[in-house]
């Protein structure tokens, strides 16, 4: 549908300083889901910003962080759009690696620094500000919006599924605009129709009730060795997954899915340079690396801890050892299945003493191509940047998209402008470019217009 882009852009320019000041308030409010710091205050800050739009807002308590639900736009609109964001952030550790205070907005050389700038406060607030700009310059919204904002995304959205099940009757929508999306190494828009699943586990092996002198090693079980031996059964020396039954459960991809994977444009040289690599695992060529990156499940050791790791030497036999692993899951694998396969695999090999604690889980989700939300995002990308986005059939990363898209049967898309290759998401010095923050508002407005007007 046509809309007055000049008036909208003028409004964004006129209110630029105020919008940035609001962003500073969002960044300045701590909201770390891992330990709960500042979460209630952040939830109220978000709810109040929705109220300023005149939205119908409800803050739903959960056993963890509140879920904020806001509706706006005409009830009798031809189409309803659901939008998902989250207001929680990752912990700021390690603090000593930050060049600016993590919970203070600092703008330097056109870049905004602070925890949550890119993931996900920048996108959340810029979308809210886009709705304000639309209403002030175009009038009523062209669609009815149902906005779900949670506060536990960074710890696995542990209470979102229960909330969705309880309120499913009010959550019907024609499409779902998810968080995320951004630019690749050459400035090309990068969107996705879903994401891999995720299962996160802690493995623990207990020996003596305290660390012992290492001279007792000939007669006392070493939990560190037990854990290393157990982990070594999950992959071979060529990096092939050897977890019993794991690969057999993945669904075979169709020719169309392989074609969509092969069509994803990756800047391989830039990726290797950014990561400090000379080549890919197993000497893969670039086309094979693309297929493996997007299509295959993973088992990753994220960290191992046991005994003494400080400076110098300390001759101890550790009392315990632990490892944290994540499994990226493709279609056919679930987080519960991954847990069960892992438990059975270890038990068969005599590692019944190693405990498994599941710390989080997300399920694979991918919307079919050609949906209204995908076509609206492509049209908005063409209008905003004059180019089609780099469209992943599903992203290699994970999120709780299945809890809304799959459970409610709503086609979804990751689309936006807030991520870029050096955004340092989850790391010190997280950032977003000032221009991308305001591009998010323009893209959101364009998306609303196309979502309202494209043929079903």
**pLDDT digit string, tens, across residues 192-220:** 999 999 999 999 999 999 999 999 999 99
Q: What is the pLDDT of residues 277-330, one digit of tens each?
A: 999 999 999 999 999 999 999 999 999 999 999 999 999 999 999 999 999 999
Mean pLDDT, the chain, whole residue set = 97
Those residues whose C-beta lies under 8 Å from the C-beta of residue 360, and which sit 6 or more positions away, are 155, 156, 158, 198, 199, 200
One domain for residues 63 and 187? yes
What does the pLDDT average to over 227-255? 98
Q: What is the pLDDT of residues 394-441, one digit of tens each?
A: 999 999 999 999 999 999 999 999 999 999 999 999 999 999 999 999
What does the pLDDT average to over 150-176? 97
| Residue 288 forms part of a structural domain | no
One domain for residues 317 and 428? no
One domain for residues 54 and 150? yes
Of 316, 334, 362, the one marking the end of a domain is: 362
Of 322, 338, 362, the one marking the end of a domain is: 362
Cα separation of 42 and 30, whole Å? Answer: 7
Which CATH number do you get for residue 208? 3.30.70.360
One domain for residues 174 and 320? no
One domain for residues 109 and 226? no
Q: Looking at residue 360, what is its pLDDT?
A: 85
The residue that leads in pLDDT, 421 or 349, is 349
Q: Looking at residue 185, what is its pLDDT?
A: 87
Q: What is the pLDDT of residues 31-78, one digit of tens each?
A: 999 999 999 999 999 999 999 999 999 999 999 999 999 999 999 999
| Residue 285 forms part of a structural domain | no
Which residue segment(s) compose the domain that 321 sits in? 197-250+296-362
Q: Sorting pLDDT into bands at 50, 70 and 90, what band is 107?
A: very high
| Residue 404 forms part of a structural domain | yes
Task: Kindly state the percentage of the chain with pLDDT values over 70.
Answer: 100
One domain for residues 10 and 145? yes
Cα separation of 24 and 161, whole Å? Answer: 31
One domain for residues 207 and 333? yes
Q: What is the pLDDT of residues 79-102, one digit of tens each?
A: 999 999 999 999 999 999 999 999
One domain for residues 166 and 236? no
Q: Looking at residue 228, what is its pLDDT?
A: 99
One domain for residues 161 and 303? no
Compute the C-alpha angle 322/323/329, nearest 5°: 145
Q: How far is CA 215 from CA 219, 227, 243, in A?
A: 9, 20, 34
| Residue 286 forms part of a structural domain | no
Q: Looking at residue 219, what is its pLDDT?
A: 98
| Residue 269 forms part of a structural domain | no
Which CATH number do you get for residue 185? 3.40.630.10
Does residue 1 have a pLDDT over 90? no
One domain for residues 319 and 378? no
């Amino acid at each position: 549908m046509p809309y007055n882009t000049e008036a909208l852009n003028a409004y964004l320019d006129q209110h630029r300083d105020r919008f940035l000041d609001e962003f500073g308030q969002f960044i300045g409010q701590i909201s770390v889901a891992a330990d709960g710091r500042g979460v209630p205050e952040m939830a109220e800050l978000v709810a109040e910003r929705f109220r300023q739009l005149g939205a119908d807002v409800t803050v739903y308590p959960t056993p963890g962080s509140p879920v904020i639900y806001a509706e706006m736009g005409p009830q009798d609109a031809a189409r309803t759009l659901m939008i998902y964001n989250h207001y929680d952030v990752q912990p700021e550790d390690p603090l000593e690696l930050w060049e600016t205070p993590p919970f203070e907005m600092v703008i330097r050389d056109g870049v905004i620094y602070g925890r949550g700038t890119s993931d996900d406060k920048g996108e959340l607030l810029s979308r809210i500000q886009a709705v304000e700009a639309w209403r002030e310059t175009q009038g009523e919204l062209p669609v009815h919006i149902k906005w779900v904002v949670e506060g536990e995304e960074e710890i696995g959205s542990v209470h979102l599924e229960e909330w969705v099940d309880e309120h499913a009757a009010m959550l019907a929508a024609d499409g779902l605009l998810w968080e995320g999306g951004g630019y690749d190494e050459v400035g090309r828009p990068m969107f996705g129709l879903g994401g891999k699943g995720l299962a996160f586990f802690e493995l623990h092996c207990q020996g003596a009730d305290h660390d012992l002198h290492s001279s007792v090693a000939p007669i006392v079980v070493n939990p560190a060795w037990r854990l290393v031996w157990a982990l070594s059964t999950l992959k071979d020396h060529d990096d092939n997954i050897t977890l019993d039954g794991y690969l057999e459960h993945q669904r075979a991809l169709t020719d169309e899915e392989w074609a969509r994977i092969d069509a994803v444009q990756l800047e391989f040289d830039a990726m290797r340079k950014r990561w400090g690599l000379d080549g890919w695992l197993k000497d893969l060529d670039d086309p094979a690396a693309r297929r493996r990156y997007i299509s295959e499940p993973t088992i990753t050791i994220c960290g191992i801890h046991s005994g003494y790791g400080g400076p110098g030497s300390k001759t101890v036999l550790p009392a315990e050892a632990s490892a944290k692993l994540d499994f990226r899951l493709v279609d056919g694998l679930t987080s519960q299945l991954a847990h069960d396969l892992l438990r059975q695999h270890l038990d068969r090999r005599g590692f019944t003493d190693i405990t498994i604690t599941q710390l989080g889980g997300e399920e694979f989700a991918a919307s079919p191509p050609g949906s209204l939300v995908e076509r609206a995002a492509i049209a908005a990308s063409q209008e905003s940047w004059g180019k089609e986005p780099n469209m992943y059939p599903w992203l290699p990363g994970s999120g709780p998209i299945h809890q809304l898209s799959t459970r409610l049967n709503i086609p979804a898309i990751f689309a936006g402008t807030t991520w870029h290759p050096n955004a340092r998401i989850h790391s010190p010095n997280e950032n977003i470019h000032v221009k991308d923050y305001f591009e998010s508002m323009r893209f959101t407005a364009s998306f609303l217009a196309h979502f309202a007007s494209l043929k079903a």
